[in-house]
A and B are shown apart, each in its own frame.
Chain A
Amino acid sequence: MQQGSLWQKWIHDDRLRMIIIFVPPAILVFTVFVMLPMIQAGFFSPWKWSGYGPAPWAFNEATDATFGRWVGERNFDRMFGHSAFQQAVWNSILVIVVSLLIQLPLALMLALMIYRTSRANTIFRLVFFMPYILAEVATGLIFAFALDGNYGLSAWFSQMLGLEEAWFPLAEKPWAFYAILAALVWKYFGFHMMIYIAGLQSISSELLESAEIDGATTWQKAIYIKIPLIWPAITVSIFYSVLGALQVFDLVMPMTAGGPSNSSHTLVSYLYNFGFIRLDVGFGSAVGVFLFVTGVVFALVYRNTVQKGQ
């Protein structure tokens, strides 16, 4: 009877069939490409290991000295004590702050201005969204060219101001990371703007008319009606924005590669530089574990506080 009923279910239950067909491949891909590497990184993090030769768990008397050795928490100690790492953490915090205080308000303001359907607004939306479509590396290159003191906008700007020496912002410590921040805002504000536009367009026009009859000005309508109503969209965009800030990498590499003097690293570019490039996979994994834990803690706290009940 059991057999029969299972077969019957397979025949008649579309949902069950979909689950059986589509879920296993997803779980497989997720496990192989996400779960396993994460667990592996956890395993690698207490080792000094170049990534070559046998994996750390296969080390024995014969391989020990040649391929690597157990270092315990020393990878983490080294990381926390490293000034470049501290700078990278600070830079990542700066990305979050700039996202929350400049990028998202800018996106919201533009969304409020152009969310209504009209030909002009469609063009504006397209223009503002364009940077998001561009590949990160391409964006980085564009900014690198523009900020080059020899032939970019920066050269033209220096000339206009009559500076004796051309300005190379990407090569100057105080400016390099601000240039990256500017590129980040430019690239991603359109994405957040689109999230807000979708939210704003779903607000019933009668609600806004009602507010108008109640005497609300454009500003009051935004503050009292529109923003509270798209608050769920705003919390999603904050979530993406913070997690995105922890993952910035592609823009940094073509613009500064973390320089000058490791001043413009983000957590991921730091991981790449000190983990992969220097063949220190154990150390890189330790940075990865830190990044992972930070992301998970943020996600859990955020979901259970700000987004609670949504």
Chain B
Amino acid sequence: MAEVRMTNVKKNYGSVEVIPDLSLTIPDGSFSVLVGPSGCGKSTLLRMIAGLEEVTDGSIHIDGEDVTNAKPSDRGIAMVFQSYALYPHMTVRQNIGFGLKLAKTPKDEIDRRVDEAADILQLGPLLDRKPRQLSGGQRQRVAIGRSIVRKPKVFLFDEPLSNLDAALRTQMRVELAELHAKLGATMVYVTHDQVEAMTMADQIVIMKAGIIQQVGRPMDLYNAPENPFVAGFIGSPKMNLIEGSIASARKSKLVGVRPEHIDVSPDAGEWEGTLRYAEHLGSDTVAYIDSEVAGSVTVRLQGEVAINRGDKVFMTPRAGNIHLFRENGAVERA
């Protein structure tokens, strides 16, 4: 278990600046998720922690030790890759025990630790199979087993669930969260999926163009986004960000209201609009409403709501849940 501390880390590829200047602390034992759109530098950051990418400038400390220039194997980390990166010519047992074998661990000790990891991940019956004989979810577990067995200080995950189907992804999300609770190790997890971030993280780090936009607990980011990017990134459907007269009436550059924080009425309300399309999900109804004053607005209504294309509706943002993004960068709730 260990804290990961990055201080003024920079990364350039030739003349291209990927990470201009980044400082971040990942607390001991936390499950931290780096999230952001493609190309925001989150994977690069993870790979720098792993030692697979050189740091152009700045320093990285793991458990108080400066590992900026250390070899990946000397950092006390383990990494799970998007493609799982299992050795196709080795059995599951050999895959999991490979790192230990290289470290010249005695054979009994390797077997014991592989069995232990297999127990945790329910891989026992699969130990003699080759990766190609496993399903996606099983491969994922083997990749995690390979990490566990090394007893690393820090686990690194690079979009590990993106190759799985939706149902399996949900299941693995729960398994990973349980694993974290069981092992209590520091985990750093990269994803572009904000749902994964919200459901698994103790701490979310939102990045854009190599710059950290906000760091905090999932609900803090949901309730108090510090800028329009974070506001739009966290939450599904996305927060409505409204410009124009509505914003200027509130002395703001932008007004943000989450779809679940807008009430809809057929008779009266603050903004008038016409229903363009409605998604009926059973538990919720997501309505896309065109409004002359507010533009295109998304509203989430609880339960099944009878509403049809072309219906005239009135929307009212709930007090206390309106985010005002001021010209000077300040954010207030109203």
Q: What is the interface of chain A, defined by CB distance below 8 A to chain B?
A: 204, 206-207, 209-216, 220, 224-225, 228-229, 231
Contacts and interface: CB of A to CB of B under 8 A. Distances in A.
A206 B78 contact: no
Contacts of A209: 50, 52, 72, 79, 81, 85
A211 B73 CA distance: 9
A118 to B, nearest CB: 14
Contact of A214 (B52, B89, B98): B98
B82 interface: yes
Contact of A216 (B81, B83, B102): B102
A215 B73 contact: yes
A229 B85 contact: no
A206 B82 contact: yes
Contact of A210 (B71, B79, B89): B79
A229 to B, nearest CB: 6
A213 B78 CA distance: 7
B52 A215 contact: no
A207 B146 CA distance: 13
B77 interface: yes
B95 to A, nearest CB: 10
Contacts of B52: 209, 212-213
B102 A229 contact: no
B102 A210 contact: no
A207 B131 CA distance: 13
Contacts of A228: 89
Contacts, number: 55
Interface in B60-84: 71-73, 77-79, 81-83
Interface residues of B, number: 22
B88 interface: yes
B166 interface: no
Contact residues of B: prevailing secondary structure: loop
B109 to A, nearest CB: 15
Contacts of A220: 102
A215 B98 CA distance: 9
B99 interface: yes
Given A207-B87, A209-B72, A209-B79, 8 more contacts: A209-B81, A210-B85, A212-B52, A214-B73, A215-B99, A220-B102, A224-B87, A224-B98
A229 B146 CA distance: 19
Contact of B102 (A206, A207, A215, A231): A215
Nearest to B77: A213
Nearest to B102: A215
B69 to A, nearest CB: 15
Contacts of A229: 88-89
14 contacts: A204-B83, A206-B85, A209-B50, A209-B79, A209-B81, A212-B52, A212-B72, A213-B79, A214-B73, A215-B102, A216-B102, A224-B98, A224-B102, A229-B89
A58 B82 CA distance: 73
Contacts of B102: 214-216, 220, 224
Contacts of B99: 213-215
B110 to A, nearest CB: 13
A250 B72 CA distance: 51
A220 to B, nearest CB: 6
A209 B82 CA distance: 12
Contacts of A210: 79, 81, 85, 87, 146
B330 interface: no
Given A207-B87, A225-B87, A213 B50 contact: yes
A216 to B, nearest CB: 6
